[in-house]
Structure 1
Amino acid sequence: MQTPPWRGNGIGRMMGSMAFLLRPPRPADAAPLAALHVETWRQTYAGLMPAETFGADMLRSRRRLWDRALNDPRADMRIRLAEAGGQLIGFAWSDDAVGNTGTRPPRDLQLYALYVDALHHGGGAGQALLDAVLGDEPAVLWVAKENSRAVAFYRRNGFVADGTEQVEPTAPNVTDIRMVR
C-alpha cells in the first residue's frame, strides 16, 4: 500500500479550497484539543445525550485526559491532529486494545477516537487521520450504532460489525457496536 502524502509530521493536504495539516500533538495542544473534543461530541451526540453533558465538567475531564496523554505519552499511543487555518479541526487516537466487554479484544490495536468538526466533514481530514493512526493494520473500534455516518465511514475502510454491543454507562440512549478489520 502506498503511504498517503499527508501521513507523518506536519505534511498538508488540500481540502477543497482549504488546506489542512496533520501533525503530532504537543503538550500546549491540551486545552484546544479538549475544547474540540467536547464540541465534536456535542455535534455527534446531541439528541442522544442531555445538553448538560457537554458543559464545564466534560471540558475539565477532557482537559485532564489530554494533559496526561500529551505530557506523558505511552510508546504505543498514536495521536494525530488536523488543523486548518491555524485551528484544530479534528483528531484521532489509537493505542493497545483493551477488552471492555470482559473478553480479550479481537485485535491488538484499537481506535479510541476519531472526530472532525462538522464544518469539515467530507473534506478528507477524517480519512487522513484514520490512515495516520491505523494505516491498514487490523484493528478494533467501538462506534455509536445511531451514528450512521461514522458506521458507513468505517465500513468503507474495511471494518465490519462483529455482533458485540454495549450500552454506554453514562449515556443510556447510546448503544455502541464493535467493529473489526
Structure 2
Amino acid sequence: MTRWQIGPLTPEYTRGLAECHIACWREAYQGLVPSYVLDAFQVEPLAQRWGRDAQARPGCIHLARIEGEVCGFAAASPQSAVAEIELHALYVRAAWYGTGLAAELLWTALDPGRSCSLWVFEDNPRALAFYRKHGFELDGGRKVEEFTPAMQVRLVRAPRPRRAAAG
C-alpha cells in the first residue's frame, strides 16, 4: 500500500480537496444525510470556499495525498467557544478507513497542549468511537446540522502534556 503525504493546503490542491470532501460526505453519510443534500454538492463552489478558507486561516487546513490525489483532510482553528481550538473537519476516503491516516491527520491538525472541541453527527458511531479513542468526551452540547435534520453532539478534549524531546 502506498504511503500518504500530509501537508498544508496549497492553491493547486483546492479542487482536489473539494472533490475529496464531496466523496467523503457521500461515503460516510449515506442514509444519515438526505441524498438530495449529498447530490447537491458542487466541486467548483466548494473549491472556491476552501481557497478562501486557506487564505483567511493559513496553515489551518492539512491534506493527505497519495501520488498527488487528495485522500483526506483536516481543518482546525481557534474559533471554539468552549476550547482553544475547534476541529471543523476531519475526513478520509473510505478506502483508507482503519489505516491510521485519520489519526495522523488529527495529530497534524491539533496541538495536543491545547484544548479542542468538535461537532459530530450523533448517529455516527464510527466517528464517535474514533474521537473517544483519541481522548474526546461528550460535553452535553447539541445542535441540529444547518442543512439537514441530523443532530450533532459536541465532544471536547482537555490539553494533554507534551512529550519530552528524546535525547
The question of a shared fold, defined as TM-score above 0.5 by the shorter chain, is answered with yes
**Residue pair 2:8, 2:62 contacting (<8 A) in 1 also:** yes
Q: What amino acid maps onto 1:112 in structure 2?
A: H
Residues 67-116 of structure 1: per-residue CA shift (max 9 Å, x gap)? 2123x2325x5211111232111000000124xxxxxx210210000000
Unaligned ranges ≥5, structure 1: 1-16, 99-104
Q: TM-score, normalised by structure 2?
A: 0.86
SS at match of 1:62: helix
Return the match for 2:121 from 144, 147, 152: 144
Q: What is the 5 A alignment of 1:32-181?
A: 32-55=16-39, 57-70=41-54, 72-75=55-58, 78-98=60-80, 105-136=81-112, 137-172=114-149, 174-181=150-157
Please provide the CA RMSD for this pair: 1.6
Residue 56 of structure 1 deviates from its aligned partner by: 5.1
Q: Deviations over 1:123-180 (max 9, x none)?
A: 11100100001031310000111111111110011100001111112111x1110000
Flag structure 2 segments of 5+ consecutive residues without an equivalent: 158-167
Tell me which amino acid in the other structure corresponds to 1:135: D
SS at match of 2:56: coil
TM-score between both structures, scaled by the size of structure 1:
0.80
1:146 alignment partner, SS class = coil
With over 3 angstroms needed to count, the CA separation of the structure-2 counterparts of 1:169 and 1:74, relative to structure 1, is: closer
Match of 2:4 among 20, 26, 44: 20
Question: Which letter does structure 1 place at the counterpart of 2:77?
Answer: D
1:26 Cα deviation after fit: 0.7
Contact preservation (8 Å) 1:83, 1:89: yes
CA contact (8 A) 2:142 2:152 kept: yes
- For residues 73 and 107 of structure 1, the distance between their equivalents in structure 2, rounded to whole angstroms, comes to 20
For the 8 Å contact 1:24–1:79, the answer to whether it is kept is yes
Is the CA contact 1:48–1:171 (under 8 Å) kept in the aligned structure 2?
A: no
Deviations 1:17-57 (A, max 9, x none): 32111111111111111111111011111112222322354
